[in-house]
Amino acid sequence: MELQKLNVKFFVEQPDKIALTDFIDVFHSWIQATDGVYHDVADYSHMQAGPGVVLVANSANVSIDESGARRGLLFSQKAPLTGSNQEKIRAVLGAALDNCRMLEAEPALKGKLRFAANEALLSVNDRLVGENSQQSFDALKGDVEAVARQLFGGANVSVERNADSHRQLNVHMRSSAAMDTAQALRNLTVHSPIGGALT
Amino acid sequence: MDQQLNWKEKLGAKIPAELGREIDIFEQQMELRKAGKIDEKVFAETRLRRGIYGQRYDNGQRHDGKRVQRLPFNADLVKGPDTFWDAPGMVRIKIPFGGVTPEQFETLADLSEEYSDGVTHVTTRQDFQFHYVHIDDTPALMRRLAAVGITTQEACGNVVRNVTACPLAGICHEETFDTTPYAKATAKFLMGHPDTQDFGRKVKIAFSGCEQNPCGLVTMHDMGAIAKTRVVDGKKVRGFAFYVGGGLGSVPYKAKLFDEFLPEEELLPTMQAISRVFARLGEKRNRARARIKFLIAQLGVAEFKKLVAEERQKLADDPRWTDFLKSVNDPTEEALKAGISLNGHQRPEGFDAWYKTNVYKQRQAGYVAATVSLPLGDASSDQLRALADIARRFVKDTLRTTVEQNILFRWVSEADLPEFYLAIKAIGLGAADAATIVDVTSCPGTDTCKLGIASSRGLARELRQRLGEKSLQLDEAVKNLRIKVSGCFNSCGQHHIADIGFYGISRNIKGFAVPHFQVVLGGKFHDNAGEYGVPIGAVPSKRIPEAVSTITEFYMRQRQKDERFQDFIARIGKKAVKDLLEDLTKIPTHDVDRSFYSDWGDPREFTLADMGVGECAGEVVSQAEFTLAASERELFEAQLLLDAGHSQHAVKAAYASMVRAAQGLVKDQNPMISENDEQIIAEFTQRFYDTQLFWDKYAGGKFAEYLFKAKEFVGAGKTADADRAVQLLQEAQLFIDAAHDCHNKVRGGIASAPAIAPTLQPGA
């Protein structure tokens, strides 16, 4: 299985502290602060457990996603990834954590937003690459476990799959040890540089 | 492993050969375009005919509220006028008569997740749309749709668009007969037909089972058919009251009766003949005048009918005209369960309110059709999959999209409704608001549409939330009103047929561009879009919720017993409503409250067309602004004359208001301009039309042409009937709106006015 179009979601601790629509202003400020990196902000705050607020770019979308009735930052890589599968997983986890860190540091949200870095949902957003089957999961599991161990700093790791066949191929990785995003990002980069490339 | 395959290989024979070939051709054309072997404009129409639209930022730039930024698309190549090749765009998916299945829902859910942003949007013409789709993904997307029997072919472009039909067809108490097989046959027959490939503009077709209900909205379509029967030689035969030349757009036209009884066997050949006449004689160069409605207005319906009859005689017999008639009486659907009434079943909390607004008792005993309200027409992938599961639990393939951007589940056994309600409530779709004032319809507006002026979805979201919070307290008369919002005058949100409609415009207030909505009242959704509303006045966008409260509270206070909203507006007069809204037209200055200078759900400073207007021009109100304001007042007086039945006077007053607006623009450059209309129009033409300063980015010189046409009409001393007078007044409104835009543009420094020496007027 050659991975592409990976999605990663890190969940928000205490989501009730911030209105979903507050992220609209933040994402617009990101557009204004960068030179044309991002295209648009899509507001789906009227939907229940929907895509939330989406910051659209050519190579990847970043959203405050409410699917599964759990708010989190969803990083959706669209442009092709290079490297080994572990490098690709590490690259999107790193990019997602970078975005989490940027949001946590936003003055308008500071003190109100924290992401739990001891849990992440990885999914393959291309059913041609991998359907949500046990066979695909088995093919992916080893690479995910290896990166998850690194992400969680060697703590015990569990990986499991939501087996609903209509869903994307997905792996829910968890560690029992609490961890913040800064530590998780350090874990990803300290032991080995983040390989793979986001194009 | 699967990853070695592409979707074409993986789906193989599941893709119908005809659709597969179409997609292969499109993929080849994409390659040729990339190789520079297809002209850009030709490719633009090619992709549009496959449902692929550019989105708002596709010109490669976007105003971020502070400045225009170039967006870093990777390709130098464009996929059509102003649209960069790799700029994500919109894909429209055609759903004839709105008929959709659970399997199709699941595919749409997968595709929206993989290629879009996880949202499937239902449009006001029963289509689906995805946004932010990369063109390189479109062949795969199309193949996966084709594998479940859906096409994007001719969803856009100058062709026959989605054929719509009443979603209650076949289950309705009042219909003459089920129009579903006719809508289906029409969609199939006309799609890709050689006689429908050379239009100057799109053609929209709708079917309705009866005259009195709104579902088909026949009279606002280019071609519309209302089911009729007639006894011939003692036998009941089927046919249609057939209408032509309707359309909303910037100036709405009601369709004219073409044939009070078109026999069913003549339906398809007549549509074919109309297509041929339209292709031959319809306008091709000026898009703004290229719909069938303009051809019919030009020829007159009698002459048009004669030409169609002649064309019909020339057509060689085609078995497809009548083959489908053999099975029109066959059942098109079946229920999953026996029809059992609700009597005695336990009702969960919230159920009764939902039942009242969202459930329709079918004419088949024990069955109901249940509307699932989608907020702003949006469903997430998870919701679509859940709806597919719910459909399989309660019904078969009997789902339909509606023009009010919802999903209708038909053939639900009434006894199952409590469980059905709990199931949809669990996925956040149990709102008791179908066909109520809360269920606001909206086009995409500035969110994604290149033509959008104001945020229609933002306004709709806000209204929906505010009205939803108090929906249980609303009086029935108010609750049953409909609100429809368009982001601009083009009317994709169908504001003309709402009780309370809005369309986005921009106004300049002390040097700042301010999002506004024109309030349009008195449209009629019933009787197949029986009446079009008329503009009352412009209200700042952020004041629209107050305007809705003001209007509805006034209606509650002043309405006579059982008086309908349209009748109420007609009785009290537009002036009274305008006076009522007067206070709401004022907003704090920019330094006091900047929120009025941004649109809904968008913190950026409001700007038109991402072009960076709105620089403060100081506190001085120019003569031009005064004159533009005067033109609006004069137009309003014209409307009052029209209401009083003085069409001729109304037309003259409307023309005068247009001249006044033109004078306002000229005054900025030539303060000595006279009051003489010939002189004003000559200078307006020289300074604003010939220089294209007045031109709209997309509509070109269309709005100025309204002025020239009005001058010709009034100058020739022609008599205006009521229809023509209404049109002329609407054109005057659009001209004045465009004059405001032009004024903002020139003052905002986007386009510098060319130096043309003031002309001294005789007698000035």
Confidence of residue B238 (pLDDT cuts 50, 70, 90): very high
The confidence score (pLDDT) of residue B739 equals 92
pLDDT in tens, B688-722: 999 999 988 778 899 999 999 999 999 998 888 88
The confidence score (pLDDT) of residue B651 equals 95
Report how far residue B594's alpha carbon sits from residue B106's, in angstroms, rounded to the nearest whole number: 44
Identify the burial level of B752 via C-beta atoms within 10 angstroms of its C-beta, where 0-12 means exposed, 13-18 middle and 19 or more buried: exposed
Pairing of strands B68-70, A169-175: unpaired
Report how far residue A5's alpha carbon sits from residue A80's, in angstroms, rounded to the nearest whole number: 7
Yes or no, beta carbons of B2 and A45 under 8 Å apart: no
- Provide the number of structural domains found in chain A: 1
What average pLDDT score do residues A164-177 get?
94
Q: Are the beta carbons of B688 and B679 closer than 8 angstroms?
A: no
pLDDT in tens, B89-133: 999 999 999 999 999 999 999 999 999 999 999 999 999 999 999
Q: Which carries the bigger pLDDT value, residue A135 or residue B675?
A: A135
Q: Are the beta carbons of B496 and B252 closer than 8 angstroms?
A: yes
Contacts of B461 in chain A (CB under 8 A): 43, 45-46
pLDDT in tens, B736-754: 989 988 988 887 654 433 4
Interface test with A, best of B103, B119, B439 (most A CBs within 10 A): B119
Helices B17-34 and B40-48: crossing angle in degrees, nearest 10, is 150
Nearest CA in chain A to B68: A36
Nearest CA in chain A to B72: A36
Q: Which phi and psi angles does B744 have, rounded to 5°?
A: -60, -45
Contacts of B132 in chain A (CB under 8 A): 39-40, 42, 56, 61
Report how far residue B255's alpha carbon sits from residue B252's, in angstroms, rounded to the nearest whole number: 10
Report how far residue B511's alpha carbon sits from residue B542's, in angstroms, rounded to the nearest whole number: 18
**A68: closest CA of chain B, how far (Å):** 8
The percent helix, strand, coil of chain A (3-state, each to 5) is 35, 30, 40
Report how far residue B508's alpha carbon sits from residue B618's, in angstroms, rounded to the nearest whole number: 12
Q: Tell me how many helices (H) and strands (E) chain A has.
A: 4, 10
Q: Which residue has the tokens 């393959």?
A: A124
Q: What is the CATH number of domain B351-426?
A: 3.90.480.10
Report how far residue B683's alpha carbon sits from residue A140's, in angstroms, rounded to the nearest whole number: 72
The confidence score (pLDDT) of residue B530 equals 78
The confidence score (pLDDT) of residue B66 equals 79
Torsion over CA: B284, B288, B294, B299 (sign): negative
Q: Which of B657, B649, B619, B656 is nearest to B737 (CA)?
A: B657
The confidence score (pLDDT) of residue A199 equals 44
User: Is B171-327 a domain of CATH 3.40.30.10?
Assistant: no
Q: Which residues have a Cβ under 8 Å from the Cβ of B402 and sit 6 or more positions away?
A: B98, B122, B126, B167, B215, B371, B408
The confidence score (pLDDT) of residue A192 equals 52
Q: How many residues does chain B have?
A: 764
Q: Which residue has the tokens 């909303």?
A: B248
| A45 belongs to a structural domain | yes
Interface of B with A in 96-125 (CB under 8 A): 106, 109-110, 113-114, 117-119
Indicate the residue of B72, B140, B429 with minimum beta-carbon distance to A58: B72
pLDDT score of A194 more than 70? no
Identify the burial level of B104 via C-beta atoms within 10 angstroms of its C-beta, where 0-12 means exposed, 13-18 middle and 19 or more buried: buried
Token representation of residue B521: 């009242």
What average pLDDT score do residues B48-54 get?
92
Q: Which phi and psi angles does B257 have, rounded to 5°?
A: -70, 120
Contacts of A45 in chain B (CB under 8 A): 461, 601
The confidence score (pLDDT) of residue B763 equals 34
CA-based R_g, chain B, Å: 26
Yes or no, beta carbons of B86 and A58 under 8 Å apart: yes
Range of the domain at A152: 6-198
Domain ranges of chain B: 2-146, 171-327, 351-426, 436-619, 621-764
Fold of B436-619: Sulfite Reductase Hemoprotein; domain 1 (3.30.413)
Q: Are the beta carbons of B404 and B438 closer than 8 angstroms?
A: no
Identify the burial level of B37 via C-beta atoms within 10 angstroms of its C-beta, where 0-12 means exposed, 13-18 middle and 19 or more buried: exposed
Nearest CA in chain A to B105: A166
The confidence score (pLDDT) of residue A189 equals 85
Token representation of residue A186: 């350090």
What average pLDDT score do residues B34-39 get?
84
Q: Are the beta carbons of A146 and A195 closer than 8 angstroms?
A: no
What average pLDDT score do residues B356-362 get?
97
The most distant pair of C-alpha atoms in chain B lies apart, rounded to whole Å, by: 87
Query: Is any Cβ of chain B less than 8 angstroms from the Cβ of A44?
Result: yes
Yes or no, beta carbons of A166 and B88 under 8 Å apart: no
Yes or no, beta carbons of A49 and B7 under 8 Å apart: no
Do B171-327 and B621-764 agree at the fold level? no
What average pLDDT score do residues A155-182 get?
94
**A182: closest CA of chain B, how far (Å):** 28
pLDDT score of B615 more than 50? no
Mean pLDDT, chain B, rounded, equals: 90
The confidence score (pLDDT) of residue B751 equals 41
Could you list the beta-strand ranges (E) of B114-234.
119-122, 128-133, 160-165, 203-208, 223-232
Contacts of A49 in chain B (CB under 8 A): 380, 382-383, 427-428
Report how far residue B194's alpha carbon sits from residue B163's, in angstroms, rounded to the nearest whole number: 18
| A177 belongs to a structural domain | yes
Q: Which of B539, B526, B429 is nearest to B485 (CA)?
A: B539
The confidence score (pLDDT) of residue B761 equals 39
Confidence of residue B622 (pLDDT cuts 50, 70, 90): low
| A42 belongs to a structural domain | yes
Q: Which residues have a Cβ under 8 Å from the Cβ of B352 and sit 6 or more positions away?
A: none
Measured at the CA of B24, the angle between CA B22 and CA B29, to 5 degrees, comes to 95
pLDDT in tens, B62-90: 888 778 888 888 888 888 777 899 999 99
Q: Which phi and psi angles does A174 have, rounded to 5°?
A: -140, 150
The confidence score (pLDDT) of residue B637 equals 81
pLDDT score of B485 more than 70? yes
Three-state helix/strand/coil letters over B478-536: HHCCCEEEECCCCCCCCHHHCCEEEEEEEEEECCEEEEEEEEEECCECHHHHCECCEEE
The confidence score (pLDDT) of residue B610 equals 56
| A1 belongs to a structural domain | no
- Residue B723: CB atoms within 10 A of its CB come to 13
The confidence score (pLDDT) of residue B619 equals 33
Chain centroid offset of residue B114 CA: 27
Q: Which of A58, A68, A72 is nearest to A20 (CA)?
A: A72
Q: Which residues have a Cβ under 8 Å from the Cβ of B331 and sit 6 or more positions away?
A: none
Confidence of residue B471 (pLDDT cuts 50, 70, 90): confident
Q: How many residues does chain A have?
A: 199
Confidence of residue B593 (pLDDT cuts 50, 70, 90): very high
Confidence of residue B38 (pLDDT cuts 50, 70, 90): confident
Yes or no, beta carbons of B132 and A40 under 8 Å apart: yes
User: Is B621-764 a domain of CATH 1.20.120.330?
Assistant: yes
pLDDT in tens, B548-565: 999 999 999 999 989 999
DSSP secondary structure letter of residue B1: -
The confidence score (pLDDT) of residue B486 equals 95
pLDDT score of A196 more than 50? no
Token representation of residue B26: 């499109």
Torsion over CA: A188, A190, A195, A198 (sign): positive
DSSP readout, A63-111? EEE-GGG--EEEEEE-SPEES-HHHHHHHHHHHHHHHHHHHHH-TTTTT
Chain centroid offset of residue B668 CA: 35
Q: Which residues have a Cβ under 8 Å from the Cβ of A33 and sit 6 or more positions away?
A: none
Yes or no, beta carbons of B88 and A28 under 8 Å apart: no
What is the ipTM metric for this complex?
0.95
Could you list the beta-strand ranges (E) of B641-761.
none
Q: Which of A160, A25, A60 is nearest to B598 (CA)?
A: A25
Q: Tell me the percentage of chain A whose pLDDT exceeds 70.
A: 95
DSSP secondary structure letter of residue B232: E
Report how far residue A173's alpha carbon sits from residue B355's, in angstroms, rounded to the nearest whole number: 43
Query: Is any Cβ of chain B less than 8 angstroms from the Cβ of A85?
Result: no
Q: Tell me the percentage of chain B whose pLDDT exceeds 70.
A: 95
Q: Which residue has the tokens 């020496």?
A: B757
Report how far residue B176's alpha carbon sits from residue B641's, in angstroms, rounded to the nearest whole number: 40
pLDDT score of B243 more than 60? yes
pLDDT in tens, B413-454: 999 999 999 999 999 999 999 999 999 999 999 888 888 899
